[in-house]
Structure 1
Amino acid sequence: MTTPGSQHFAASRPDPAEPAPEWLPLDRRTIAASTVVAAGALAATAVPAGSGLLLGGVGLAWVLLWTIGGTILGAAATAVIETARLAVTRYRVDAHRIERRVRFLSSSTTSLSTGRVRNVEISADLVQRRMGIATVRLASGETDGSRLILGALDREVAEELRRHLVAERAATDASELVRLDPGWVRYAPASVMTPLFGLLGIGIVFQVADWFGAVPEMLEWIWDRIGDLPIPVIAAGVLVLALVVGTIASVALFVENWWNLRLEHHEDGSLELHRGLLVGRHTSFDGRRIRGVTLHEPPGFRLLGAARLDVVASGVGTGKDDEGKKKQSPALVPASPRAVSAGAAGTILGEPVPPVLRAHPPAARRRRLVRAGAVVVAVTGASLVPAVIWPWLWWVPAVALVLSAASAIWASLDNARGLGHEITGGVVALRKGSLMRRTDVLGRDGILGWNIRRSPLQRRAGLATLVATTAGGSGAFRLPDVGREQAPALWRTAGPVWDHLAEPPGSRRVVTNAAKSDTRPGKT
């Protein structure tokens, strides 16, 4: 009988007649772990729900029945579901494949070639760590990042499985690239998500109140205390409250996601990432599938001289894969001094990140200013409606005009300043955006091709939008409003398949002909 921690994975199967490895069960301790987590989540939800019921006039007995009884019932249901899941789920591993089989009303088998597994993540929440188990997530080398999840295995078995899948990488020497500095938490509130977190928190409070029909009473209570204040003061107070709540949420998420951060770099280019407070994660990235990195620099980060670093690799990215499973996170380094993120990026890429990028033509800035003017006209026109209906709101269009003009013009100019690119011997750097500014630094060996797009207005201005395609991340990296003279140098980085696009310098047809050609990667 197999006991936790005693499984060993076949190193080879030289004899084709040798029977396949036996199907192994998942660790039964995951039943207790999932039940405890579910009970804790339900208990945390029961506190505000019970308070709302009491404020709504519901009797104490009914409140206890709904809260305590609901928590017990939910935990019991979780235990039953987890028991059934473990009863029908098996997995096996040999030198060539790792498979997971689920047999219930029908049978389904998920299989990944061990040679195609590029990224391995071992995660364990607080309860799982106490019980000595962990969840294993595997991502293949395909662009869609096909996933296979084993939840959960004994911690030693999970680590043995990781070593089996990354045997060659695990044998190479590793150097530490980044270790968390607790002082980096000061950058967390500078994220563009901070005010959104605050508004979301306020919205959750109103949603919970709505469940118990207490919104009118809550609004009346609030209005009795602030109703005499001027509307601009009330708006400023709501914004400050949202920022305070958002700051608390941002700091909490930073600590949870990045505590105990340690990023290691192997000689073969592979990466090992350790992070997490309540949910510990150990992620391995195959160096053969790393195509580049991305530096994120929203306005708050730029003001503080910070940046966040993501990896561009096969099977890694945001969103979900073709099977509806969440892709592996590309995050490598949190918001930190830009020198730290850029230094780690340089080591991963094998050469420094270009410090200065080539600016795009003045026509790119004019296009953004025209768009800003259109936004100002639209916002001001919409704000005239309440002023016409209620004349005492005459000040609304004036305020809308000033605020929209200031924000739109700043954003357009900042966006234009951010546009840039640079080509070096080994990488191509592409930068764009203002509120969501990012610099994608792609290895030239990993660029499959370029798509070239031109709108009628871009053709008139002598500009084009170039999209680099690579087998990593989203697969497409867009660089808008490139000058006609700048475009050939960029698309030539894809290799000889694009040589037919080259024309003598100064030809006005060089980008236009590219736009008319079949721009799919690999087409000639």
Structure 2
Amino acid sequence: MSAPRESDPGAGWVRLDPRTIPATTLVAAGALVAAAVPVAIGMLLGGLGVGWVLLWTIGGTLVGTSATAVSEAARLAVTRYRVDPHRVERRVRFLSSTTSTLSTSRVRNVEITADVVQRRLGVATVRLASGETDGSRMTLGALDRDVAEDLRRRLLAGRATTDSSELVRLDPGWVRYAPAGVMTPLFGLAGIGIVFQVADWFGAVPEVLAWVWDRISGLPIPVIAAGVLLLALLVGTIASVAIFVENWWNLRLDHHRDGSLELHRGLLVARHTTFDGRRVRGVTLRQPPGLRTLGAARLDVVAAGAGTGKDEEGKAKQSPALVPASPLAVSSRVAGTVLGEPVPTGFDAHPPAARRRRLVRAIAVVVVVTGAALVPAVIWAWLWWVPLVAAVLTATVAIWAGLDNSRGLGHAITAGAVALRKGSLLRRTDVLRREGILGWNIRRSPLQRRAGLVTLVATTAGGGGAFRLPDVGLAQAPELWRTAGTVWDHLARP
């Protein structure tokens, strides 16, 4: 028996698709099996008998899988939803009744996701976001795939079917940019940490350390440090490539005539995201040092309901990612299409006082780190080299970061957009549509007042809602805040 059509206002409350039970249960079972393998190895290394290992791993997997199935069946039994021309409602009736409502006229972003199991079973999860920066979100999981697509088209009032042009498809060669991100070494350190964490669960850390030390004890300390760094980079590279492939496989970005964007991507979890063109406020180009060296950038959209972190209901916001790390020309071309004009290439530099502030901070970091490194050298004289190495390394990194940060600091104003660039390790260029800027905030610390600098913060209904540009010259500030209208000239008053 087929469920009533959601497009019929009189259909009343409708159940979620029952195929969500096997879909979620199979995914949970796979995760439990994957977790059981390292746990079993740790138990065996800890000296536990094979019978006990099988009991805990297989038994735990069966119990966890059964609990997931029961939980999903209960969720399906108590959850209903309905859609009418004015609103989308989701009701949960258990010990108490909770009804969530989202006005159809406020829905701006729609995301349809389906993992490998859901795709095989023909179901998908629908996530709706309203037009406010931290507005309401609603998740319906899971619906029949055709029902989910029909719901997306209805909520977007036909915008999803307007004429469109393809902006970009994934080039497999872009995977070479994945390890150039700032997260690569962190992924590597996290991977090494996970190994020791699993070993700690079974009290096997001393054995692991002894096994490692037996093989490296004869090497000089600098060689050991370099080996650990290379191992972290290797593990991080593998993790970065795997994450890139999972997130961006089958990428296709379409641009509709009304300015809406439609994004398809994902390998294990397929994602289909639509951004309402009326709620797109700009774009962000992200260029950490590795990507800048390779002439690449990642592109995010600045849109209402999309961003990092969680909204006011504690739910994750819709991802703003549009194009992965790719050649800068590709990201800039896509950004220009989204904005309706080319991305600025020439930026107005900030005063020399901005660079001095960054160099002073760099020197302060060097002094603090070197001072901390002196402590072991005072206690153990043979560690005299520690503060020297700390000073050299810290000075090299901190002064480079300060100079690179000051070189990157700048802004540009065009007929239809304002570009704000800042950062070094996290270099980003926010290009905001002038029509979407709600206003400016001005902030000045005592040191900034003495240096004749200000920090400007543009507010817009998209992304995080606030885009900060530090250390702007007093003579440059009025040109920026007037992009939101001459009414903001009152900021110039003492």
Give the TM-score normalised by the residue count of structure 1: 0.93
* Corresponding position: 1:113 with 2:111: no
Distance (Å, rounded) in 2 between the aligned partners of 1:196 and 1:39: 29
CA deviation after TM superposition for structure 1 residue 232, in Å: 1.1
Q: Which of 211, 226, 239 is residue 221 of structure 1 equivalent to?
A: 211
* Corresponding position: 1:438 with 2:428: yes
Residues 88-487 of structure 1: matches in 2 within 5 Å? Answer: 88-487=78-477
Residues 145, 316 of structure 1: 8 Å contact kept:
no
Distance (Å, rounded) in 2 between the aligned partners of 1:496 and 1:169: 35
Report SS of the residue matched to 1:167: coil
Report SS of the residue matched to 1:431: strand
CA deviation after TM superposition for structure 1 residue 54, in Å: 1.5
Distance (Å, rounded) in 1 between the aligned partners of 2:67 and 2:320: 34
Distance (Å, rounded) in 1 between the aligned partners of 2:334 and 2:272: 18
Distance (Å, rounded) in 1 between the aligned partners of 2:214 and 2:161: 68
Distance (Å, rounded) in 1 between the aligned partners of 2:42 and 2:135: 44
Residues 128, 138 of structure 2: 8 Å contact kept:
yes
Distance (Å, rounded) in 2 between the aligned partners of 1:291 and 1:423: 15
CA deviation after TM superposition for structure 1 residue 38, in Å: 0.7
Instruction: Tell me the equivalent position of 1:7.
Output: 5
Residues 44-63 of structure 1: matches in 2 within 5 Å? Answer: 44-63=34-53
Q: 1:114-165: per-residue Cα shift (whole Å, max 9, x none)? A: 1100000000000000000000000001110321000000001101101111
Please list every run of 5 or more consecutive structure 2 residues that lacks an aligned counterpart in the other structure: none
Q: 1:87-132: per-residue Cα shift (whole Å, max 9, x none)? A: 0000000111000000000000111011100000000000000000
CA deviation after TM superposition for structure 1 residue 171, in Å: 3.3
Distance (Å, rounded) in 2 between the aligned partners of 1:106 and 1:198: 46
Distance (Å, rounded) in 2 between the aligned partners of 1:414 and 1:221: 42
Instruction: Tell me the equivalent position of 2:22.
Output: 32
Q: Which amino acid aligns with 2:374?
A: L
Distance (Å, rounded) in 2 between the aligned partners of 1:51 and 1:2: 47
Q: Which amino acid aligns with 2:55?
A: L
Q: 1:448-501: per-residue Cα shift (whole Å, max 9, x none)? A: 110000111111111100000001000000000001110000010111321344
Please list every run of 5 or more consecutive structure 1 residues that lacks an aligned counterpart in the other structure: 14-19, 502-509, 517-524
Q: Which amino acid aligns with 2:331?
A: S
Residues 478, 489 of structure 2: 8 Å contact kept:
no
Instruction: Tell me the equivalent position of 1:68.
Output: 58
* Corresponding position: 1:496 with 2:486: yes
CA deviation after TM superposition for structure 1 residue 228, in Å: 1.6
Q: 1:414-448: per-residue Cα shift (whole Å, max 9, x none)? A: 00000000000000000000000000000000101
Q: Which amino acid aligns with 1:111?
A: T
Report SS of the residue matched to 1:139: strand
Report SS of the residue matched to 2:71: helix
State the aligned residue count. 494
Q: 1:39-91: per-residue Cα shift (whole Å, max 9, x none)? A: 11111111111111112121111111101111111100000000000000000
Report SS of the residue matched to 1:149: strand
Residues 126, 143 of structure 2: 8 Å contact kept:
yes
CA deviation after TM superposition for structure 1 residue 8, in Å: 4.3
- Which consecutive aligned stretches of 4+ in structure 1 deviate over 3 angstroms post-superposition? none
Distance (Å, rounded) in 1 between the aligned partners of 2:291 and 2:467: 22
Q: Which amino acid aligns with 1:183?
A: G
Q: Which amino acid aligns with 2:170?
A: L
Distance (Å, rounded) in 2 between the aligned partners of 1:420 and 1:371: 19
Residues 5, 11 of structure 2: 8 Å contact kept:
no
Q: Which amino acid aligns with 1:397?
A: P
Q: Which amino acid aligns with 1:281?
A: R
Q: 1:209-243: per-residue Cα shift (whole Å, max 9, x none)? A: 00010000110111111012111111110000000
Residues 21, 94 of structure 1: 8 Å contact kept:
no
CA RMSD of aligned residues (A): 1.0
Distance (Å, rounded) in 1 between the aligned partners of 2:92 and 2:45: 47
Q: 1:229-272: per-residue Cα shift (whole Å, max 9, x none)? A: 11111111000000000000000000000000000000100000
CA deviation after TM superposition for structure 1 residue 317, in Å: 0.5
Distance (Å, rounded) in 2 between the aligned partners of 1:152 and 1:168: 23
Distance (Å, rounded) in 2 between the aligned partners of 1:462 and 1:145: 38
Q: 1:249-303: per-residue Cα shift (whole Å, max 9, x none)? A: 0000000000000000001000000000000000000000000000000000000
Report SS of the residue matched to 1:269: coil
Residues 481, 488 of structure 2: 8 Å contact kept:
yes
Give the TM-score normalised by the residue count of structure 2: 0.99
Q: Which amino acid aligns with 1:273?
A: L
